[in-house]
Chain A
Amino acid sequence: MSAYTGKIGNGYIIISTFASMGIILLILCVLFFNSFAAIRDVGWSLFTLTWNPPHAQFGILPMFYGSLAVTVISLVIAVPLGIFTAIFTSEILHPGYRFSVKAFLELLAGIPSIIYGLIGVAFFSVWVGELFHLQSGRTIFTAAVLLSIMILPTIITLCDDAIHRVPQKYREAAKGLGLCKHEVIISSVLPIAKPDIIGAVVLALGRALGETMAVMLVIGSIDKIPAPFYNLLAPGQTITSKLGREITGSAFGSLHFSAMIFMGIMLLVIVLALTLIAQYFSKSGQRLYE
């Protein structure tokens, strides 16, 4: 009896392990297989500026530019704000409140992105449109602001963990040298927490790059780099919003479809690389929530 249970148990464990480890490889293979037609037939012309499927032009650079612009701006807004707030919650705020602050942040981090998208459609795009006198408020800038609010709870809670994990003795030693509170934080606590904070930011970068719904609803969906490329108050397109909008509109097996999948695999590779970098920086952290 027990010998059989052991065998069944071992079999179950091996099968489930292979299933959960193999799925990521399966995803990569399936995507690569389906993007192969585009790689073979379009080749290096994939990296050009014009996306026009009826004329067989599949330049994916405008989408890359959109993803990059949206992500960079949202991080520029969210990272400083998030780190200062994390310093506040972990170093200045009374430790008794920490549990409720963390619970609040985790709840906020769990708000589905589609709800952010709805808020973006109903308020943000209208505000941006009125503020800058635009025809339509659905711009790269709108998407970036919305995204920065979305990743803010994640950045705060991860940075707060990173700072909180710095052992108390460093603070005491620094205080013993006669440093003020801000000097303790800047010259002793932050340098020690730095790898974890970098890890948190890289993780947030990956999340922001892969975010679909909120961005898709407010970015305007025009496959062009805006006229002067720094004009952020123009509609754009990110990789994710392109995929979300067009994948069902393109015929399965066509070159158009294949080029879309190629964009997907580029996105996946970038995000996977970022995830692994983040893990390299924050070795100590085993995070359950993003």
Chain B
Amino acid sequence: MRNKLFISVCCFAAILCTLILSLLLFVIALNGAKAVNLRFLLSDSRNFGAEGGIVYQIMGSILLISGAAFISLPIALGTALCKSEYIKNTVLQQISSMMIYGLNGVPSVIFGIFGLLFFVNFLNTGISWFVGSIILAVMIIPTIVLAAYQSMSSIPAIYRESAYALGMDKWKVIAKVILPQGIHGAVTGLFIGLARAIGETAPVMFIATAFSGAKLPDSLFQPVTALPTHILALAQQATNSQALLNAWGTSLVLMLLVFSLSLSALFTRVTLQSTGRR
């Protein structure tokens, strides 16, 4: 009897969660589908985003995360290599993990404020998409480091030992053995990180984006418009039904971008596992 009660409580919780979460997806998809069409995707926004499309917002978001990817991947890869191949001391290893987890836990709005203080005011860069890319890169570094470190540290010791036995020096072992096996983890982490980065509003809204009017930048130090900040601007004029409709359309586009990045991550992880075991 109590067994049945417990099981049914669990089932009830699961059904409730599924309902809530599916309703969420359903609401976004249904409202978004009303707004999204080819013209919406390919035209410029007018009247502070309440009319027109989101082509520059899409490009701006993609620009921001491509910049972030190019900055974060090499740094994170180096850090992961250092953690897996160089640091042998347990205390140092723990300190480095603490730093990485700490950075991973920093709230996104703090990144935005840091960018505002350090880059925009102290280094006097002005509001610029490149600063936004740097901040997003910093934000996703821990994710990439952890993923790359995990796949590097799961390389069997015998691979390294055989490579050293062949007379390779440390850097050659890294280039020929560790990197080819560890790069998949880094790429998985990169996709997970980018999926998070593209949807973040708080880090970029003070430092990288203009709410409307900006087109494609022609230098590193110009603002862009991005999808999340566009939704924010439209959500604040939610009484205007046309603005709200455009906000739903933008949300759907943003969500599809996030999902495609997450699915790429899932895909690389699955292929990584199968090639790793071969």
Contact = CB atoms under 8 A, between A and B. Distances in A.
Given A81-B17, A122-B238, A272 B113 contact: no
Interface in A110-157: 110-115, 117-119, 121-123, 149, 152-153, 156
Contacts of B117: 30-31, 34, 261
Interface string B54-98: 000000000000000000001111110111001000000000111
Contacts of B149: 286
B103 A20 contact: yes
B100 A112 contact: no
B75 A275 contact: no
A177 interface: no
Contacts of A26: 118
Contact of B232 (A2, A12, A93, A117): A117
Contact of A5 (B14, B97, B111, B171): B171
B262 interface: yes
B224 interface: no
A80 B116 CA distance: 39
Interface residues of B, number: 98
B232 A115 contact: no
Interface residues of A, number: 87
A49 B11 CA distance: 45
A30 B13 contact: no
A107 interface: yes
Nearest to A117: B235
A15 B77 CA distance: 12
A276 B266 contact: no
A259 interface: no
Given A27-B114, A88-B10, A274-B105, A123 B27 contact: yes
Contact of A114 (B116, B121, B199): B199
A110 B169 CA distance: 42
Given A16-B74, A153-B21, A275-B102, A103 B81 contact: no
Contacts of B155: none
Given A13-B86, A180-B3, A152 B10 contact: no
Contacts of B100: 20-21
A31 B169 CA distance: 43
A118 B251 contact: yes
Interface string A260-271: 010010011001
Interface stretch (B37-45, B188-196, B212-220): B188-196
Given A118-B251, A213-B201, A92 B11 contact: yes
Interface in B1-31: 2-3, 5-7, 9-14, 16-17, 20-21, 24-25, 27-28, 31
A74 interface: no
Contact of A213 (B75, B81, B121, B202): B202
B85 to A, nearest CB: 8
Contacts of B53: none
Interface string B142-177: 110111011000000000000000000111101100
Interface stretch (A53-61, A228-236, A241-249): A241-249
Given A20-B141, A152-B21, A12 B106 contact: no
A14 B266 contact: no
Interface stretch (A36-44, A168-176, A204-212): A204-212
A23 B103 contact: yes
Interface in A61-107: 80-82, 84-85, 87-89, 91-93, 103-104, 106-107
Given A20-B79, A20-B141, A114-B201, 12 more contacts: A20-B142, A84-B14, A91-B10, A93-B14, A110-B195, A110-B199, A156-B17, A210-B108, A212-B107, A243-B113, A275-B101, A288-B192
6 contacts: A12-B74, A88-B13, A115-B255, A212-B108, A217-B236, A247-B112
